Structure 1
Amino acid sequence: MSPTPLLEVKDLHVGFVTDRKKVVPAVRGANLVVYPGQTVAIVGESGSGKSTTAHAIIDLLPGTGRVTDGRILFEGKDVAGASKGDILALRGSSVGLVPQDPMSNLNPLIRVGKQIREALEANGVAKGKEADARVVELLQEAGLPDAERRAQQFPHEFSGGMRQRALIAMGLAARPKLLIADEPTSALDVTVQKQILDHLDHLTDTLGFAVLLITHDLGLAAERADHLVVMYKGQVVESGPALEILQDPRHPYSKRLVDSAPSLASQRLSAQEHRAEVREQAESVAEEVAAEVASHGDEFGEGRSRVVEVKNLTKVFTIRGSRPGASTDFTAVDDVSFGIRRGTTTAIVGESGSGKSTVARMVLGLLDPTSGTVEFDGVDITTLRSTTQQLAFRRQMQPVFQNPFASLDPRFTIYRSIEEPLATHKIGSKAEREAKIRDLLDKVSLPASVMRRYPSELSGGQRQRVAIARALALDPEVVICDEAVSALDVLVQAQILNLLNDLQAELGLSYLFITHDLAVVRQIADDVLVMQEGRVVEHAPAEELFASPREEYTRALLDAIPGGSIPLGGGR
């Protein structure tokens, strides 16, 4: 490693100016050093200042953000007060950026290949046919198969993981000396994540560029970073060799991060023991609830051991071809069968495009299957024709989606968002609804005062708690969680998983948990389906699947969990 730093951040202060010209500090006295060929990870929860620190380096602070003090030295030159021209020259050619949200960072009206080509041309790397050829190479490097055809597609034709890979290709287009990767793999399944990170490791080894990795995944940081910087409330609270901090954290906040990391915690016996306790209590409550519902003669409430039964489910999509009238059939879900035992959690895991979310949409009744059946309490939901029948079914099965900001109407107060399903189903008087909403907020550990606030005024974790409260408003039997914790930082993720476990034990809920993150499965699931290319390749109890997976594909998924094999110190 070169003794001369590539990047030095010295006593950096960043603030945001309010309407009243007051500066609100976001980063306070941050220090970090990155050497050529080194990977440095900044970890911390949402709002800790890690992304703000990274964006300050290339003058991409949002809104009224500005550097108020300190120095940012890139190859010995202070760029904190650099001119616009110097900053533009720095971006792309010397410092590349892979932002977190691929959908808001790719133009939906421009083909993906053209957007990468623009990055090549802007940095003087290549033009014309040479640029087109380089676009294909970059997409291949980033792990996209059939790259030449993919380059001609639009962002909406890509999965979330594919869009993220396109951003990574764009960030590496000009072969920068430093790549700032802001949660670069948070939208990716573990095997693709491993492929991307292996490729970044290869490039750092062969080309000598450095990586500043912004992440909330402690397992990923432990496995990929040489040096770790822990940030909390805008300050660096601990800094040092990655394994040293993860095996023996000194600061209380660092200890909390390590203890909450699911990819590290997944090895612990305590997670299995706690899950067994939750399952036992939930099954008992669920049996009581089902018996009570059945006693009232409800259409959905036969008290069966399996609340959901999926049989030979298949979904075929027709994809339009490039020529008028041309089309091909694509089988997204191929003959999938499983059941959800009352009061338990069934997890469906697999890579992007494996068909798991399509299964969830069919179970919810949001997508009609091409063939096969979905039975809820013994009733085939595909036969429900009347509005009354469909509303009765909707009351019993509710979703919690990945992005709570997208699933909550920004114009509605939290009160109105939770009240909406109650009003739709004509449940209770105004006073009874308010009492119900207060109780729901209490169940998800939110104060009643949030009722009058809007989604934009809440953190990501708080918004997801509101989404869970809304899902519980109709007292459902089944909750379908589609990547419900993948967008959350590690501490909030742990809180939401604990909340889901507690609610299941208290209310006897049954969960269908869709995720690409195997690290959380052991903490929440009792039965696991592994899907690949639309088919179920393995189906087993969670403990059995983790202890002795039968299929090579399952073993590959488990081996790809970042940090899963790293031993922890401190008696953990």
Structure 2
Amino acid sequence: MTTNIPQTPNHEGEQPLLELKDLKISFTSSTGVVDAVRGANLTIYPGQSVAIVGESGSGKSTTAMSIIGLLPGTGKVTEGSIMFDGQDITGLSNKQMEKYRGSEIGLVPQDPMTNLNPVWRIGTQVKESLRANHVVPGSEMDKRVAEVLAEAGLPDAERRAKQYPHEFSGGMRQRALIAIGLAARPKLLIADEPTSALDVTVQRQILDHLETLTKDLGTAVLFITHDLGLAAERAEHLVVMHRGRIVESGPSLKILRNPQHPYTQRLVKAAPSLASARIQSAQEQGIESAELLSATAVAEGTIPEMEEKVIEVKNLTREFDIRGARGDKKKLKAVDDVSFFVRKGTTTALVGESGSGKSTVANMVLNLLEPTSGEVLYNGTDLTSLSHKEIFQMRRKLQVVFQNPYGSLDPMYSIYRCIEEPLTIHKVGGDRKAREARVAELLDMVSMPRSTMRRYPNELSGGQRQRIAIARALALNPEVIVLDEAVSALDVLVQNQILTLLAELQQELKLTYLFITHDLAVVRQTADDVVVMQKGRIVEKGRTDDIFNDPQQHYTRDLINAVPGLGIELGTGENLV
């Protein structure tokens, strides 16, 4: 494998564009002062790409927001300095910072849906940025808006400028944010998790375009991300943050190949894209991938010899009624003649980009959506032919863990009530004392303290909530669990913990998983079989090793090649495996 990590140029003798010196940022809360960033030092040179990596709460976004003077709430710089282009901007007022925002320092925020005004046209929002930074006279504004959107990779920019955010896909909205961030030709662009909500292929397109655009303009880029593979592939220099401190800093390749700090070592080990690269590397060197995966409890016993089909999908089709451009009724074929099966005790991954139909298939497998035609067989029984009572009984055997751990638990229910609810509905577990014992047992299974049952979802982190969602799914002793993007909203370290937990539970309880995901790196680590979907149809299916080692379809190759960091040559240092 070859690496495509940007090589670090020598900046010796060059004037830094940005310099953070002993930066300390604190927030005042009801319980006192909380130090979010403690003595951070960071240097960025003109045209350089730098990435700050770390899990949620590490202080990376807080550091970035302090540079542009947009610290939330009670946050303020209490010590140290921020030097930008030779000027100390640390203590500037909001009015004084306006001179720097947009024109000197651009920002591409994390979530395009919440950072674009839903009632303003895209062109109006770009125009606002141009007007605020006095980029062009009013008479040239519309022409410049179209140019900026075209530069950001939006086709037919003049027409797109007249559309609203809801008429754009996620990738198009992200391009619009990049256009706004670069509209005034800033010297520094802060990209805060710029592609975390996007599919890998769209992510690659956006990052490729951003890289080309910033190089052409000579713009320095500061990436904020929790994806170490992405950071390493896109940045010359890596900065690792943990609990408000910079624990390691240096050239990307050097840190990846030989991480010094224990936290960085854990990040490198946990990153799915890098773990996938290690599997690839091990296979090329003739090492059994199972030997490598046993460290994360993914391998042993997950590929049984039996070929028993627990779920079989036959010629599944689903159509939706939609309105055409003139209000005419049209049919959208979201799932088109899909057939595959899931082997008992294994993990089958259903992968594809957004809109490929994978979640629609999952909803039909769960009997939450009726097929237009075709069958879903569970242990030979056609689920579409069952009565309401029989479907209710079947629910005990087929459970689901949803994507968003924040949205899938009722905020008004205690954790005890969240897990106990399926037991009550299905009249399982006898009296309250027996149900309480079962909830305690389920909390033990997902490695959560029993005291958690008295808490509420808002008191838990994302990873803890997902553990509770898994405990709830296990409450009725199911045979099959559908995992719908169950780890995509989590940081890499938490993601790694959840994947390890799922693998351990699969071994212990002989569970079968149908894993819906667009993350090929996670698939490489966890799945036994892969089904690849595109535009409602299956384009390829087979054993995971076969698909990754010798993909037959161009689309599958594109998906695999788009995994950030998969092409990084890691070496065989003991810190990496």
SS of 2:183 mapped into structure 1: coil
The residue correspondences of 1:419-438 to structure 2 (distance < 5 A) are 419-428=420-429, 429-438=431-440
Measured against aligned partners, the alpha-carbon deviations of 1:118-165 in whole angstroms (never above 9, x if no partner) come to: 334433346879555555555554455565665555444555444434
Q: Determine if contact 1:279/1:505 at 8 Å carries over to the other structure.
A: no
Would you say 1:48 and 2:58 are equivalent positions? yes
Which residue of structure 2 aligns with residue 124 of structure 1?
A: 134
Distance 1:134 1:464 in 2: 46
The residue correspondences of 1:476-555 to structure 2 (distance < 5 A) are 476-555=478-557
Distance 2:141 2:545 in 1: 50
SS of 1:404 mapped into structure 2: coil
Q: Determine if contact 1:11/1:71 at 8 Å carries over to the other structure.
A: yes
Cα offset, 1:369, TM superposition: 2.3
The alpha-carbon distance between structure 1 residues 129 and 524, as it changes in their structure 2 partners (threshold 3 A), is farther
Distance 2:155 2:333 in 1: 18
Please identify, of 227-236 and 174-183, the stretch whose mean Cα deviation from structure 2 is larger.
174-183
SS of 1:4 mapped into structure 2: coil
The residue correspondences of 1:186-197 to structure 2 (distance < 5 A) are 186-197=196-207
Q: Determine if contact 1:281/1:508 at 8 Å carries over to the other structure.
A: no
Distance 2:211 2:355 in 1: 25
Distance 2:92 2:537 in 1: 54
Measured against aligned partners, the alpha-carbon deviations of 1:436-494 in whole angstroms (never above 9, x if no partner) come to: 11111111111112222222222221111111112212222111112111121111111
Unaligned 5+ runs, structure 1: 288-303
The residue correspondences of 1:154-173 to structure 2 (distance < 5 A) are 154-173=164-183
The residue correspondences of 1:232-251 to structure 2 (distance < 5 A) are 232-251=242-261
Distance 1:149 1:338 in 2: 41
Normalised by the size of structure 2, how large is the TM-score?
A: 0.89
Would you say 1:29 and 2:32 are equivalent positions? no
SS of 2:396 mapped into structure 1: helix
Q: Determine if contact 2:347/2:528 at 8 Å carries over to the other structure.
A: yes
Would you say 1:217 and 2:227 are equivalent positions? yes
Distance 1:424 1:160 in 2: 38
Of 475, 494, 510, which aligns to 2:477? 475
The alpha-carbon distance between structure 1 residues 161 and 200, as it changes in their structure 2 partners (threshold 3 A), is closer
Which residue of structure 2 aligns with residue 297 of structure 1?
A: none
Which residue of structure 2 aligns with residue 295 of structure 1?
A: none
Cα offset, 1:341, TM superposition: 0.8
Taking only aligned residues, the RMSD between alpha carbons, in angstroms, comes to 2.5
Q: Determine if contact 2:298/2:500 at 8 Å carries over to the other structure.
A: no
Please identify, of 136-145 and 236-245, the stretch whose mean Cα deviation from structure 2 is larger.
136-145
Which residue of structure 2 aligns with residue 457 of structure 1?
A: 459
Q: Determine if contact 1:282/1:509 at 8 Å carries over to the other structure.
A: no
Which residue of structure 1 aligns with residue 418 of structure 2?
A: 417
Unaligned 5+ runs, structure 2: 1-10, 283-287
Cα offset, 1:168, TM superposition: 3.0
The alpha-carbon distance between structure 1 residues 396 and 125, as it changes in their structure 2 partners (threshold 3 A), is farther
Distance 1:232 1:13 in 2: 14
The alpha-carbon distance between structure 1 residues 194 and 279, as it changes in their structure 2 partners (threshold 3 A), is same
Normalised by the size of structure 1, how large is the TM-score?
A: 0.90
The residue correspondences of 1:87-486 to structure 2 (distance < 5 A) are 87-125=97-135, 131-132=141-142, 134-135=144-145, 137-144=147-154, 151=161, 153-266=163-276, 267-268=278-279, 269=282, 271-273=289-291, 281=301, 305-323=308-326, 325-386=327-388, 388-428=389-429, 429-486=431-488
The alpha-carbon distance between structure 1 residues 540 and 106, as it changes in their structure 2 partners (threshold 3 A), is same
Identity %: 65
Cα offset, 1:328, TM superposition: 3.1
Q: Determine if contact 1:282/1:507 at 8 Å carries over to the other structure.
A: no
Distance 1:45 1:218 in 2: 10
The alpha-carbon distance between structure 1 residues 280 and 69, as it changes in their structure 2 partners (threshold 3 A), is closer
Tell me how many residue pairs correspond in the alignment.
Answer: 552
Measured against aligned partners, the alpha-carbon deviations of 1:18-60 in whole angstroms (never above 9, x if no partner) come to: 124x211111001111111111000111111111111111222
Would you say 1:82 and 2:96 are equivalent positions? no
Measured against aligned partners, the alpha-carbon deviations of 1:101-134 in whole angstroms (never above 9, x if no partner) come to: 3333233444444434433443334687955555
The alpha-carbon distance between structure 1 residues 9 and 444, as it changes in their structure 2 partners (threshold 3 A), is same
Distance 1:392 1:485 in 2: 28
* Stretches (4+) displaced over 6 A: 274-277
Question: One-letter code of the match for 2:355?
Answer: G
SS of 1:97 mapped into structure 2: strand
Would you say 1:13 and 2:24 are equivalent positions? yes
Cα offset, 1:71, TM superposition: 0.8
Distance 2:83 2:528 in 1: 51
The alpha-carbon distance between structure 1 residues 404 and 245, as it changes in their structure 2 partners (threshold 3 A), is same
Which residue of structure 2 aligns with residue 301 of structure 1?
A: none
Would you say 1:3 and 2:14 are equivalent positions? yes
Q: Determine if contact 2:343/2:512 at 8 Å carries over to the other structure.
A: yes
The alpha-carbon distance between structure 1 residues 279 and 24, as it changes in their structure 2 partners (threshold 3 A), is closer
Q: Determine if contact 2:130/2:136 at 8 Å carries over to the other structure.
A: yes
Distance 1:143 1:317 in 2: 31
Question: One-letter code of the match for 1:115?
Answer: Q
Question: One-letter code of the match for 1:67?
Answer: V
Question: One-letter code of the match for 1:364?
Answer: L
